[in-house]
Amino acid sequence: MELKKDDNAVSIDMLLIVHSEKRRAAQGAHPDRQADPGAPPQRRGGLQVVGNGIRRWQKLEGSDLHGNLVEKQHPQQTQVITSYDSQGTQLTVEVHPRDAMPQLLKKFSLAKRLQGDKNGNTRPRQPGGKDAHAYPWDRSSLKSIPLDLRQFEKLDTYASQVTVKSGLDELVSDLLQEAHSDLERVRAIWIWICHHIEYDIEAAQEKDRQAFKPTTILQTQKTNCDGYAGLFEKMCRIAGVQCMTVPGYSKGFGYQPGQSFSGEFDHAWNAVYLEGRWHLVDSTWGSGLVDSTTSKFTFLYNEFYFLTHPALFIEDHFPDNKNWQLLKPPQSLRQFENNMYHKSEFYNKGMLSAHPETSTIKTVNGKATVTIESCAPTLFMFMLNGKQEHGLLNLRKNGMKLDVYPPTVGTHKLQIFAKGNSEIYSSVLEYTLKCHYTDMDVPLPAELHQPVGPSWFSEQMGIVKPSHLEPVIYTSDGRCSVSFGVEEGISVLASLHGDDGPITEETQRRYIFQLHREKRTELKVQLPHAGKFALKIFVKKRQEPGNYIFVFNYLLCCTNAKVNWPVFPESFGNWGPDNELLEPLSGVLPANHNVPFKLKLHGVAKALVKGQDTWPLTLNHEGYWEGSCSTAGCQEVYVMVLENANHNFYSYILKYKVNAQ
């Protein structure tokens, strides 16, 4: 053996003879399977269906000198065995069949290869200190490299439309036609894979299925996570870009908050070398998602997993080698398990942080509180055990606050959703609530919808400057008055909801009397009894067809057991938006009484009250119509107006009931 060494390389001359039969026996080779020189390293062993819908990797029967995965070749062919150490040193050995004439002296090179060629024949360097990003996230960017996604619009459109004509090399060549930098080359490959390769659910559920080869993936356009990662790496190397496949644990489909990880790794992704640093991508999760109820894959492009900031990537990806976290300091597996998992949509929709930062919350006095900070006004909703109940969600200018009151002791599932710029609410957070105590005085009305209290959203919908800024209103006598400004052309509708059995829609509105004064709307509310009620507020543009839209509600609370207010009088369509009722406010009048009336009515010539007899109202100097009416001998009393003095037709505007004698 001859050994030579200088600053750049080490070379060894040796004679190597290997018996192929022994090698076959030692490795358990399958003679009926032909090797694909373009295939990624195969990860053998039983495949299990795991929580996130991907197959687990079992250990190889053999590995190289440094524990790196190596591809097994057919024993009857000349084999090339390549090994790398942690410094990127490469050892290449050719193994010939026994009956072939070996070269007596074969030179092997151990050289540090710093640059790769266009065919991907390179071993990239391991990540180091200059690749590391600070942890925790500094909120600077979702990406590990400054990007303006608008610069990719033309390239993305082109790459997504490229079709497979023959092999992988030609596909990469076609993709690179519009790519002029390593970043654009990686982007074109990423876009193509995310828009053309479907996640293979059946493969993830089968046992003993062999690893996907790039040629097979191109034919079927289906694969699993290691197939995605292997294809991405192969295409990058063909494009002359250094790329690695990184195995590890993931918080994907089926993940439960707080679960622990052990045993075989369940996922694979990639690291790609750009502009002098390593960056992370996951084309499996970038391509779409698996529906938890149907277990079907749907293409749904997710930009988040392209060059993700490592401090965000670590939330759902834990690599086998801590160096591939690209973090300083790196996180332990225990930290990965315990840290709060913010889903990709959490960041896609502009969220910045959430509190508590642990996935399990213990209630205090029967209540748990969650707050979210966002970079822009955002709509939220929540579900506790699959229902939008038992919580108060208050929108804030940059986020929200949620108070949850579990109805029973035990464990509860809390999901939080955000809308962002899309029309769809997406799940952004999940918590497990541990409740050891419930306050029986806390139960909230089932009809209390979200959000509770005025916010930027109600202002956006035309309701401004509310009299009550807080979401909860306490009343000692069962009455309250809420007012707010209303923008031009907006109509307001309100209704009251409690948990005292079925109430007609008409009755829900009869405990609220709506008044308008100088571009402000006032809602006078009388509660039928003590308890908690939802005061729901809806709006609609007067000139547009369609239904009223729910905007927000207040929670009204009264503990006075003596409260027993009747409904307000029933109003009809001719009750103008600027009319005002001072008395009587009760919709039920006492029998055999003279009842005073005082109203402000606009645009009417005459007004009267009709019971058993007719009682005219007169207009005073303050602009109010005044008078009185006897309730003797009648069951109902009406207020009527004549809008045009030249006509004789009176319109009903208010209706009262008279108590039975």
CA dist list (Å): 66 to 9, 26, 87, 116, 246: 19, 18, 11, 21, 16
Q: Which residues are CB-contacts of 516 (< 8 A; sequence separation ≥ 6)?
A: 486, 522, 577, 578, 579, 580
Whether the per-residue pLDDT at 210 is higher than 80: the answer is no
pLDDT score of 448: 92
Catalytic residue list contains 375: no
Q: CB burial class (10 A; 0-12, 13-18, 19+) of residue 316?
A: buried
Q: Pick the catalytic residue: 133, 194, 200, 225? A: 225
pLDDT score of 105: 29
Whether the per-residue pLDDT at 114 is higher than 80: the answer is no
| 8-state DSSP, 590 | P
For residues 29 and 543, the model is more confident at: 543
Give the tens place of pLDDT for each residue, 498-546.
876 556 666 778 899 888 877 889 999 999 999 999 999 999 998 888 8
Mean pLDDT along residues 229-253: 95
**Element spanning 450, H or E:** none
Q: Which residues are 636's β-sheet partners?
A: 657
Question: What are phi and psi for residue 338, nearest 5 degrees?
Answer: -90, -25
d(CA 33, CA 211): 12
- Count of CB atoms within 10 A of residue 519's CB? 11
Residue 626, token pair as written in the block: 């005044």
Catalytic residue list contains 225: yes
d(CA 197, CA 189): 11
User: Which pTM value belongs to this model?
Assistant: 0.74
Q: Pick the catalytic residue: 267, 279, 390, 497? A: 267
For residues 453 and 210, the model is more confident at: 453
Contact call for residues 613 and 639 (beta carbons, < 8 A): no
Residue 167, token pair as written in the block: 């092999």
Q: Which residue has the tokens 């089932």?
A: 446
Q: How does the average pLDDT of the chain come out, rounded?
A: 82
SS3 284: helix
Whether the per-residue pLDDT at 281 is higher than 90: the answer is yes
Q: Which residue has the tokens 């070269």?
A: 103
pLDDT score of 209: 55
Q: Pick the catalytic residue: 131, 226, 266, 282? A: 282
Whether the per-residue pLDDT at 40 is higher than 60: the answer is no
pLDDT score of 123: 64
pLDDT score of 506: 67
Low-confidence winner among 57-66, 219-228, 394-403 (lowest mean pLDDT) = 57-66
Low-confidence winner among 235-244, 371-380, 519-528 (lowest mean pLDDT) = 519-528
d(CA 599, CA 606): 12
Whether the per-residue pLDDT at 60 is higher than 60: the answer is no
pLDDT score of 27: 36
SS3 377: coil
Portion of the chain with pLDDT greater than 70, in percent: 79
d(CA 61, CA 27): 7
Tell whether the torsion through CA atoms of 316, 320, 324 and 330 is positive or negative: positive
**Element spanning 194, H or E:** helix 182-196
Catalytic residue list contains 267: yes
Whether the per-residue pLDDT at 11 is higher than 50: the answer is no
d(CA 241, CA 102): 35
DSSP 321-338: SGGGG-EESPPPHHHHHH
pLDDT band at 232 (very low <50, low <70, confident <90, very high): very high
Residue 12, token pair as written in the block: 């060894």
Most confident of 15-19, 66-70, 563-567: 563-567
Q: Which residues are 380's β-sheet partners?
A: 418
Whether the per-residue pLDDT at 20 is higher than 60: the answer is no
Residue 163, token pair as written in the block: 């079709």
pLDDT score of 116: 46
Low-confidence winner among 11-15, 166-170, 493-497 (lowest mean pLDDT) = 11-15
Q: Which residues are 447's β-sheet partners?
A: none
Residue 144, token pair as written in the block: 């590990």
pLDDT score of 404: 96
